Amino acid sequence: MKARVHVTLKQGVLDPQGRAIHQALETLGFEGVEDVRQGKYIELDLAETDAAKAEALVREICATLLANPVIESYTVSLQD
C-alpha cells in the first residue's frame, strides 16, 4: 500500500522558499501569480495492507519525524 503525505507550513507562518519562488517568477517575467507556498511531498511504500492500520502508522510517522507540529500541518492519503 502506498501513502502520500503533504507537509505544509501553517497559515501565517513565513514561507521563505515560496517567497523566493514568487520573486524569481517576477524576475523571469511571469505575470498573474498572486502567491506561492512550498511544502514537502513524501511517498511511502508500506507492507501493511489494512488501510486503517496503514493510516495510523503514517500519522505516527508524520507526528514523530516528518512534520514539525508547531509550524507545519500534514495530510495523509492512501492508495492500494
Can you tell me which of 64, 70, 79, 80 binds a copy of itself, judged by CB under 8 A? 64
Q: Considering CB under 8 A, how many residues would be counted as binding a copy of itself?
A: 33
Which residues touch 55 (CB under 8 Å, ≥6 apart)?
3, 76, 78
CA 66 to chain centre: 9
Taking CB under 8 A as the rule, does residue 73 contact a copy of itself? Answer: no
By CB under 8 A, residue 51 contacts a copy of itself: no
Q: Which of 34, 52, 79, 80 binds a copy of itself (CB under 8 A)?
A: 34
Examine residue 78 and tell whether it contacts a copy of itself (CB under 8 A). no
Query: The C-alpha cell of 79 is what?
Result: 492508495
